Amino acid sequence: MPHSRTHSRATAGTLLAAGLALTAPLGAQPRPTASIASGQYLVGIVSLGDTMWTSWTLRVAGDSVHGDMGPRATNALRGVMRRDSIDLVQFWDSTTIRARFRAQVRNGRLTGLALGRSRGSTSFADTARWVAIPEAKRAGPPRAVTFEPTVFHRTFSPAAAPALHIFPGDTVHTRTIDAGGVDWNGVQRWAGGNPQTGPFFVEGAMPGDVIAIHLHRVRLNRDFANAGTGIVDAAITTDLARSLSRVEQFSGRWTLDRTRGVARLSSPTPALANYEVPLRPQVGCLAVAPARGQAIRTQDSGVFGGNMDYNALREGTTVYLTANVPGALVFIGDGHAAQGDGELTGDALETSMDVSFSVALVRGTSIGGPRAESPDQLMAIGIAGDLQEALKLATSDLTRWLMSDYRLNAAEVASVLGTAMRYDVADMVGTQVSVVATIRRDALATLVAPR
């Protein structure tokens, strides 16, 4: 991933294009009390049923207010503060007003209406609602927080109330229950369907920011798991799927031997009496809230992440997702003790997990879909309704990643990927499937430093 850079969130032009504005002219105002403070404000403006978010800097001196609408719109706002309200104008030039903003002030928050006009017009139109909330400031150094979940979520949704507010750099220690809703003590805590821990509100995260989620610790916290016992239809021919009959009395319960680091069937048939697999704990679900107010069930996945079921999302891996709402809202859950590629049985070795993670913000860049990197490799995750489209998305995003970070041209990146790239079929379950384009770091080690 590129280094963090200044993020040009939304300039005045984007605000006007979104139809955001305010009513009421400025006039003589009484000298205010200290109703708002100078600083950064998270601003949301509602247009056509959708909310566009940006960041403003407001500077208050007596009853005068000046402000910047994003890092490039220097001194774009000018206005006056009353005792319990504020009036702001945005100018096309030094004399022509582009938009008006008025809001009531309550507990340091601004809520009101906006009114804008096009260049050359003498009238204002396109009234919209807006809100400005003071951005939280970190007090002290990054902290380590232990969070004990009591409420879980079966949809990825921006409507979910944040379970915890964290700052970039903070480390969260928490736990997840298994896909069936059973916790680390074997107690049924929630309905099944991949219930998630969180969501975690990342202070300062804005739509368009890339959220880097580093998995410091992904560890088993109980000694059993439950897995599917049949191959998913999407992975085999229709004729074979019809011919495979259910095997009665076969148990999908597994014993997790954390001392030896292996899993084995708890009640194996004679043929599998000596069958063991290495434990490779992973998180099946890692997501941010989807865009456009969508509530998407936790069995599904998309550009927001979700139920990706990729067995490389384990301890030491960093996952990159694009925030769609302020705070991003990070969900985590669906722990697997082990899983082959594709989650072929529909349920991997489903279990609860102890998880520690931290987040960082990467600004000034964009990604085509979920990405991940480990000490060994880069991974671009393509998610779509069929394997071919997922493969195309994965290949395209890894191509863009190498061209951006290593400054490769089309022929150079083709030479590298054509000789060193590999594909993982991560997930074959549900309405979406995942294909991951990967490349090992040692294949990139000899590339000339970025120009």
Task: Express each pLDDT in 15-37 by its tens digit.
Answer: 323 332 332 333 333 444 447 88
Confidence of residue 137 (pLDDT cuts 50, 70, 90): confident
Strand arrangement, sheet containing 253-257: 224-226, 253-257, 262-265, 277-278
Which residue matches tokens 């499937």? 433
- Sequence-distant (≥ 6) Cβ neighbours of residue 264 within 8 angstroms: 254, 255, 257, 275, 276, 277
Which residue matches tokens 């998270």? 42
404 to 1, 58, 322, 374, 415: CA distances (angstroms): 9, 34, 17, 19, 16
Question: What's the pLDDT score for residue 315?
Answer: 98
Res 413 pLDDT > 60: yes
Tell the burial category of 343 from Cβ atoms under 10 Å away from its Cβ (0-12, 13-18, 19+).
Answer: buried
Res 437 pLDDT > 90: yes
Q: What is the pTM of this model?
A: 0.85
Q: Which residues make beta-bridge pairs with 436?
A: 381, 424
pLDDT in tens, 193-249: 999 999 999 999 999 999 999 999 999 999 999 999 999 999 999 999 999 998 989
CB atoms within 10 A of CB 140: 6
Of all residues in the chain, what percent carry a pLDDT higher than 90?
Answer: 69
Gap between the Cα atoms of 430 and 58, Å rounded: 47
Confidence of residue 120 (pLDDT cuts 50, 70, 90): low
